Amino acid sequence: KKVILEFFTKVSITLSLLLTISCNEIPQKNITNDKTPNVIIIYLDDLGYGDVGFNGGKIHTPHIDKLAQGGLVFDNGYASSATCTPSRYALLTGIYPWRKKEAKILEGTAPLLIDTSQTTLPKILKKAGYVTGIIGKWHLGLGKGNIDWNSHISPGPNEVGFDYSYIMAATQDRVPTVYITNGTVNNLDPEDKIEVSYRKNFEGEPTALDHPEMVKMKWHHGHNNSIVNGIPRIGYMKGGTQAKWVDTTMSKKFLKQAQQFVSQDKNKPFFLYYALQQPHVPRTPNPKFAGKSGMGARGDVIMEADWTIGQLMKTLEQNSLLDNTLIIFSSDNGPVLNDGYYDEAVEKLGNHNPWGPFSGGKYSLLQAGTHVPFITYWKGQIEPGTSDALVSQIDLVASLANLVNIKIPKTDSENLIDTFLGKKSDGRKELIIEATSRTAFRKGEWMMIPPYPGPKVLKQQNIETGNSEEYQLYNLRTDKKEQKNLAQSNKAKLDEMIKAFKAIRGT
């Protein structure tokens, strides 16, 4: 009897193990390339669908356009959220940001949002033998709360899969305004300790409210705390004088880092997450670019970002890396003109249209919030063209895992590697997008936005939020601007959408 019982226990354990494996793991696929390529994600901050030349933008972006011409342009490519932190969280983890309630725009002192035990894109690639690096904007929290900026800061990017990190902690408009290399603030001075608070000012430190005469870039809303380089920021900072960044050279610093990173260790493939700060506020073009666009600082910094990308491409070419590097270009969320400073982004816009054919913008559930420029480029491997496939940045986790043959647990990420490489024309069937803790649902050509209270327009930014007391249903093929609400006239479709949305969203 005992033997039989043991036998059945063993069989059932084996069976359940097999079942867990088959349910949780994405099947492997053979890749045709003999070598796994280097991977670079070029990720801009607040760049709109229409901000790039290849989507009709009036700002000169020849280098980005070159990627578009030589790569695959996704016309239905999405960021996971209409703001930064949630989008970046999804990009790196493959988990919808609305599943994680802390995934909101983070303060500079916020603890690390990603659990160090979580699967992440850099961990996956590291497991496949890649050297992994992040250069640029992090904005996913650091430490465990109560950071001491004067000693080693951990956990951070290096604890979630990056071998190398050279970052700003949060945003260019948030303190601390310092670069951090592998968890240590650059140019620390033990005699001039850094202190940071988002609650109250440090005694005697000037703020934009007390010392408007010290301010060179005027604030419009928010951004009236500590002043660094004449620019008033969000949050209070004391000390660290020699550690503070110079805003006008930030783009160059990140570029140099990126160039060094891709030029090192030729024996291993690399993964570079190159997170540029443009065109987020404060927009601080290098003097070489100031005034170049004729559209104010916003246009100038987009031109500078474009030049930077051109320089990185040159470095790849000089190092004979282009044939073996997959480049993914996108943006963390849609555009905003006035995001808190008077910088003439509104006044000098002219006939440039950052939103492309869409309504809304950053912070919005309407298309311009999340529907962003999206390109995959791999010289000699990806055939240039345009794809209609519905794809999201959240899909990069499963897709790149598949590319490098690493098994991962199931997430919200879908394996679309063949779509990203242009071997297949269909993408995902449905997608939930997020904007300031609200969610909406796309399936096929349809978009459904549930009712939400709150303002219909963000007054200061002049952005339509997508809020309405009623359900909204739009056909994106015929109505990209989301102006004809079909919720009443197509009840059957609305019901189908609500049902499918709830099946994923759970409420």
Provide, rounded to whole angstroms, the least separation between the CB of residue 281 and ligand NG6.
5
**Does the footprint of ligand NG6 cover residue 339 (CB under 6 A)?**
yes
Stretch of 142-150, 176-184, 218-226, 477-485 lying at the interface with ligand NG6 (CB under 6 A): 218-226
Exactly one of 42, 84, 303, 401 binds Ca ion (CB under 5 A); which one? 84
Contact between 403 and ligand NG6 (CB under 6 A)? no
Residue 220: CB minimum distance to ligand NG6, A:
9
Residues that bind ligand NG6 (rule: CB under 6 A) add up to a total of: 17
| Nearest partner of 125 among 322, 266, 22, 268, judged by Cα | 268
Asked if 46 is part of the footprint of ligand NG6 (rule: CB under 6 A), the reply reads yes
Structure tokens at 166: 């050279």
Q: Which of 466, 493, 501, 303 is nearest to 370 (CA)?
A: 466
Residue whose entry in the numeric block shows the structure tokens 């054919």: 357
Q: Out of ligand NG6, Ca ion, none, which partner does residue 247 contact, by CB within 5 to 8 A per kind?
A: none
Residues touching Ca ion, count (CB under 5 A): 5
Work out whether 332 is an interface residue with Ca ion (CB under 5 A). Answer: yes
One residue of 110, 208, 215, 234 binding ligand NG6 per CB under 6 A: 234
Name the residue with the smallest CB distance to ligand NG6: 222
Name the one range near ligand NG6 by CB under 6 A: 15-23, 215-223, 252-260, 369-377: 215-223
Task: Name the one range near Ca ion by CB under 5 A: 113-121, 197-205, 325-333, 440-448.
Answer: 325-333
Helix (H) or strand (E) holding 439: strand 438-443
* Residue whose CB is less far from ligand NG6, 175 or 403: 175
Look up residue 216 and give its amino acid.
Answer: K
CB of 170 to ligand NG6, least distance (A): 7
CB 327, CB 376: distance < 8 Å: yes
Cα–Cα distance, 454 to 468 (Å, whole number)? 8
Beta-strand runs (E) in 354-411 = 374-377, 385-392
Task: Return the one option of ligand NG6, Ca ion, none that residue 58 interacts with (CB less than 5 to 8 A, by type).
Answer: none
Closer Cβ to Ca ion, 85 or 359, answer by number? 85
Piece of 41-49, 399-407, 462-470, 485-493 that binds Ca ion (CB under 5 A): 41-49
Contact indicator for 312, 306 with CB cutoff of 8 Å:
no
Burial status of residue 191 (CB atoms within 10 A of its CB: 0-12, 13-18, 19 or more) = exposed
Residues numbered 109 to 148 that lie near ligand NG6 (CB under 6 A) are 139
Q: Exposed (0-12), middle (13-18) or buried (19+): which is 373, by Cβ within 10 Å?
A: buried
Please, what is the minimum distance in Å from the beta carbon of residue 113 to ligand NG6? 13
158 binds, among ligand NG6, Ca ion, none (CB under 5 to 8 A by kind): none
- How near is the Cβ of 458 to ligand NG6 at its closest, in Å? 10
Give the three-state DSSP class for 145.
strand
Choose, by CB under 6 A, the member of 93, 132, 171, 439 that binds ligand NG6: 171
Amino acid identity of residue 278, one-letter, is Q
Q: In terms of Cα–Cα distance, which of 66, 68, 50, 46 is closest to 58?
A: 50
User: Per CB under 6 A, does 83 bind ligand NG6?
Assistant: yes
Nearer to ligand NG6, 94 or 340 (CB): 340
Scored b (16 or more CB within 10 A) or e, 420-459 reads: bbbeeeebbebbbbbbbebbbbbbeebbbbbebeeeeebe
Q: How far is the CB of 385 from Ca ion (least distance, A)?
A: 28
310, 171 contact by CB (below 8 A):
no
* CA distance from start to end of the chain: 48
Query: Is 112 within 8 Å of 143 (Cβ atoms)?
Result: yes
45 touches Ca ion by CB under 5 A? yes
Q: Which is nearer to ligand NG6, 105 or 349 (CB)?
A: 105
Binding site for Ca ion (CB under 5 A): 45-46, 84, 332-333
Binding site for ligand NG6 (CB under 6 A): 45-46, 83-84, 105, 139, 171, 173, 221-223, 234, 280-281, 333, 339-340
